[in-house]
Amino acid sequence: MIVWVRKLLENWVARGFFALLVIGFVFWGISNVTTLIGSNTAVAHVGGQEIDVSVVQAAYQRALNQASQNGGGTPDLATRRQLALGALSGVLRQQLLQNEQRRLGVVVPDSAVRAMIDAIPSFQTNGVFNEQTFNQVLEQNNTTPDRFIGEIKDDIAGQQLLGAVLGGVAPPDELLRQLFSYIAEQRFAAVVNIPFAAQAQPKPPGDAVLRRFWQNNPALFTAPELRTAKIVILSPALLAPKETVAPADVDAAYARAEAATPPAVPLRSVQVISVDNLAASSRLEAAWKRNASWAEMQAMAKKFGANSIELKQAKQVEIPSPALGAAVFAAQPGQVNGPVAGTNGMYVFKVTDVSASGTDAAALRAQVLQSLQMQKAQADVAQDVDNLQDALAGQTPLDQLPGNLGLTAVEGTMDANGNAADGTPAPIPGGAALKAAIVKAVFAAHAGDPAQLTNGPDGSYFALTVSAVTPPALQPYAQVQAKVLSAWTQQEITREAEVQAASLMQAVNQGQSIQTAAKAIGASVSMTAGFTRAVPPAGLPGQMVPVLFTLKPGQATMQQTDSGFSVAALIKTVQPDPAADPADYARLQQEMVKELQNDAGESLLNGLQARDKVTVNQKLLAQIYQ
C-alpha cells in the first residue's frame, strides 16, 4: 500500500485493471519459475501440460521485432533476455487462465469475437471493418488471422473469468476518507528568504587565517587523481554515420515505412470568440482586425458577455461546431474571420498555426537512412570484433592496430568523473553510457596492463591501456590562494545567513509572528498558495513540504538553498471535504478499486500457479534469446 500511495501521489491516470494484471503477472511469472531438465522441446510445464518452445519463440520474435523497429537495431543480450522472460510469462499466464476456463466451462460466442474485431479502428476503412485491411495489419505484425482470433478469444474468456472474480472488489469507505484526507489536505505557509547576495562582504583576513583555512579544508583544494590512457572503440553508433547505403535500398525501406505510417491529419491552432448576437460579433471582429492583441480581445469579449477560447493543434472533428470547424480549416492563418453562425451563436476567430499530425517526409527518410546505416554498422562490428580480439591477443599495440577495423581512437588524461585536467569533459566519443563504462574501466586498470577487449553498452567494444597515474595531491597554497580566499568568503557569508535564518526560526517557534520577526531583520514575507503533499508551492524548496506537514500552525522550519536560506512558518491547514470535491474523490475511489482488483487478480494467478505447478526449463529458455 505504501508503494501504491506514492504512485497515486504522482498522478491520477486511471489504468485498465486487465493491463495491470498482465504487468503484475510478468514479474510474478519471472520470479516463481524453477528449472526443469529432460525435455527437448518443452520450455515449461503447466498442470502437467507441455508448453512447446516454439510458442514462446513466436511471442519472443514478435516482441524482438517491435523492439528492433523502435530502437533502430538489435537489442543487447540483457534486453533480449527481458523480452524472452516477458514472452514466457505471457504464455504461462494464458495457459493458466485457459486451464481454469476449461475447468469452469467458460465459452466465448463467435459473435462476441466478431464484435470485438469489428470495433478495432486499425481494421476499419471509413469506420467499417475491412477484411483486406485486417489481413494487411496482421501480416505487418507477423501474425495470422487464426492466431489473432485465438488471442481475442483468450482475452474475452480471460475477462469473463477475471470479471467474475473482481466484480465485487471495493475499498472500505473509511479507508477512502482517510486516504483522501491525506492526499488532498491543503496547507498555507509564510516564507522569508535570506539570500547570500544580501549579506555584507566580510573583510579579507590575514594570510595566516587563509593558510589555516587551506590546511583545514584539504578536500576543497586537492587535485583529483588523473590517469593518462589510450583507448580504441568499436561501436555501431560511432561507425553508423560513416556507412554508405545505396539510394535504391533507402527508397525501398522508405516506401515500406511510409506504407506502415498512418496518414497525416490536418491540425489547426485557433483563437475563437463566441458571441450570442451578430452586432457584438461584428464589433469584436472590427476591433480584432485593427490589430488588437489576443489578451485585449479576451478582455473585450467579457464586456460583451462573450466567451473566448484557444485551441492548440486541434483536428476538425474536435471543434465543437461543424460550421466553425469547416470555416477554421478553410481560413488562412493570421487573418481574422467571421462572424460564422454556429450551434451556440456567432463565432469570430483567427487561425494562429497550420500543421499536420504524422511523420514529416524528410524526417522519415532520415530516420530510415539512419536505421539502415545502423544495421550495416552492426554487421561490420560483428565481422570486425573477432579480428580485433585476435590482434589484441597478439599483444599488438593500440596505435598499431589495423586501420580497416572501423575503430575510433582517443588518447588523453582524465579524472574519475571523466573530466580533463582543466575540469572540462574529456573528449571521449560515444554516448553517456559508453563514456561512463570507459572511465570506469580506466580507473579499474593498472598502469602497464595489456589491453583487453571489453563489451560496452549498445553493442560496442573497447580496449585501453593506462600509461600514467597521477595521484591526488593538495595543491600548493600559492597556486590556489585566490580560490582559498573565495571559499573562505563564501563560508563566512553562508554562516552569517544561517545565523539570521536560525534566529528568525527560533523567534517564530517561541511565539512571535513571522511578520514581526522578519521586520526586525528587514526581510520581507511572502505567502504561498495552498499546497498538498503532492504539489509543492512555487518558490518553496521541495524538501520543506514534508516537514511542513509535520508542523502545527505557528511553527517554523528552515532550509538551505543554492542561493541562501528559506524560513517557512505554517499558517493554516485546510482539511478536504469529499462532498465539496466529488470529482477527485471519485477518481480516488476508481484508482483504489483498480489497485484492489490488481491485488485480487495477482492472488488468483498465484493460486493457479501453485495448483498447476508451473516449472520452466531455464536452459531451453536461454537458447531463445542467445
Give pLDDT, residue 73. Answer: 66
Contacts with 475 (C-beta within 8 Å, 6 or more apart), sequence order = 221, 222, 223
Looking at the structure, do residues 53 and 135 belong to the same domain, yes or no? yes
Q: Report the alpha-carbon distance of residue 529 to residue 265 in Å, rounded.
A: 41
pLDDT digits (tens, 9 = 90+) for 278-323: 888 888 998 999 988 999 999 888 888 888 999 999 999 888 888 8
- What is the pLDDT averaged over residues 378-389? 92
- Of 323, 356, 389, the domain-final residue: 356
Looking at the structure, do residues 235 and 375 belong to the same domain, yes or no? yes
Q: What average pLDDT does the chain have? A: 86
Give pLDDT, residue 72. Answer: 55
pLDDT band (50, 70, 90) for residue 217: very high
pLDDT digits (tens, 9 = 90+) for 402-450: 989 999 999 999 999 999 988 899 999 999 999 999 999 999 999 999 9
Going from the C-alpha of 243 to that of each of 247, 371, 383, the distances in angstroms are 12, 11, 15
pLDDT > 90: what percent of the chain? 46
Give pLDDT, residue 66. Answer: 77
Could you tell me if residue 338 is inside a domain? yes
Which CATH number goes with the domain that contains 593? 1.10.4030.10
| pLDDT over 60 at 501, yes or no | yes
Cβ–Cβ < 8 Å for 288, 336: yes
Looking at the structure, do residues 16 and 129 belong to the same domain, yes or no? yes
State the CB neighbour count (10 A cutoff) for residue 381.
22
- Of 409, 443, 471, the domain-final residue: 471
Looking at the structure, do residues 36 and 152 belong to the same domain, yes or no? yes
Going from the C-alpha of 515 to that of each of 169, 251, 498, 570, the distances in angstroms are 51, 71, 19, 12
- Of 471, 489, 513, the domain-final residue: 471
Looking at the structure, do residues 411 and 485 belong to the same domain, yes or no? no
Lowest mean pLDDT of 32-41, 99-108, 300-309, 360-369, name the range.
32-41
Lowest mean pLDDT of 189-198, 420-429, 451-460, 596-605, name the range.
596-605
State the CB neighbour count (10 A cutoff) for residue 151.
12
Could you tell me if residue 213 is inside a domain? no
Radius of gyration of the chain (CA): 33
Question: Residue 193 is placed in which grid cell?
Answer: 528568504
Q: How many CA atoms lie within 13 A of 534 on its CB side?
A: 15
Strand partners, 227: 414, 469
- What is the pLDDT averaged over residues 265-272? 92
Strand partners, 191: 526, 568
Looking at the structure, do residues 130 and 9 belong to the same domain, yes or no? yes
Give pLDDT, residue 435. Answer: 95
| pLDDT over 70 at 63, yes or no | yes
Looking at the structure, do residues 26 and 156 belong to the same domain, yes or no? yes
Could you tell me if residue 258 is inside a domain? no
- What is the pLDDT averaged over residues 553-577? 94
Give pLDDT, residue 14. Answer: 34
pLDDT band (50, 70, 90) for residue 613: confident
Cβ–Cβ < 8 Å for 556, 508: yes
More confident residue, 618 or 106: 618
Could you tell me if residue 536 is inside a domain? yes
Q: Report the alpha-carbon distance of residue 556 to residue 191 in Å, rounded.
A: 9
The number of domains in the chain is: 4
Could you tell me if residue 125 is inside a domain? yes
- What is the pLDDT averaged over residues 557-582? 92
Q: Is the peptide bond before 145 cis (omega within 30 degrees of 0)?
A: no
Question: Residue 541 is placed in which grid cell?
Answer: 524548496
Locus of grid cell 470568440: 273
pLDDT band (50, 70, 90) for residue 34: very low
286, 290, 294, 295 alpha-carbon torsion, rounded to 10°: -100
Looking at the structure, do residues 379 and 467 belong to the same domain, yes or no? yes
Strand partners, 231: 410, 464
Greatest mean pLDDT among 15-19, 152-156, 521-525: 521-525
Could you tell me if residue 512 is inside a domain? yes
Q: DSSP assignment of 326-385, as one string?
A: HHHHHSPTT-EEEEEEETTEEEEEEEEEEEESS--HHHHHHHHHHHHHHHHHHHHHHHHH
Looking at the structure, do residues 463 and 565 belong to the same domain, yes or no? no
Q: Report the alpha-carbon distance of residue 221 to residue 484 in Å, rounded.
A: 8
Q: Report the alpha-carbon distance of residue 269 to residue 339 in Å, rounded.
A: 18
What is the 8-class DSSP label of residue 523? Answer: -
Looking at the structure, do residues 21 and 101 belong to the same domain, yes or no? yes
Looking at the structure, do residues 153 and 48 belong to the same domain, yes or no? yes
* pTM, two decimal places: 0.51
Cβ–Cβ < 8 Å for 51, 615: no
Cβ–Cβ < 8 Å for 525, 514: yes
More confident residue, 9 or 520: 520
The dihedrals phi and psi of 193, each to the nearest 5 degrees, come to -100, 130
Q: Report the alpha-carbon distance of residue 279 to residue 258 in Å, rounded.
A: 50
Query: What is the Cα 482 distance to its own chain's centre?
Result: 43
Domain residue limits at 274: 266-356
Strand partners, 50: 45
Could you tell me if residue 208 is inside a domain? no
Q: Report the alpha-carbon distance of residue 248 to residue 369 in Å, rounded.
A: 11
Cβ–Cβ < 8 Å for 387, 232: no
More confident residue, 7 or 119: 119
Looking at the structure, do residues 516 and 455 belong to the same domain, yes or no? no
Locus of grid cell 495491470: 20
- What is the pLDDT averaged over residues 132-158? 83
| pLDDT over 80 at 19, yes or no | no
The H or E element spanning position 50 is: strand 49-52
Q: Give the max Cα distance, the chain.
A: 92
Q: Report the alpha-carbon distance of residue 172 to residue 165 in Å, rounded.
A: 18
Computed from CA positions of residues 289, 293, 294, 299, in that sequence, does the dihedral angle turn out positive or negative?
Answer: negative
Could you tell me if residue 508 is inside a domain? yes
What is the 8-class DSSP label of residue 419? Answer: B
pLDDT > 70: what percent of the chain? 92
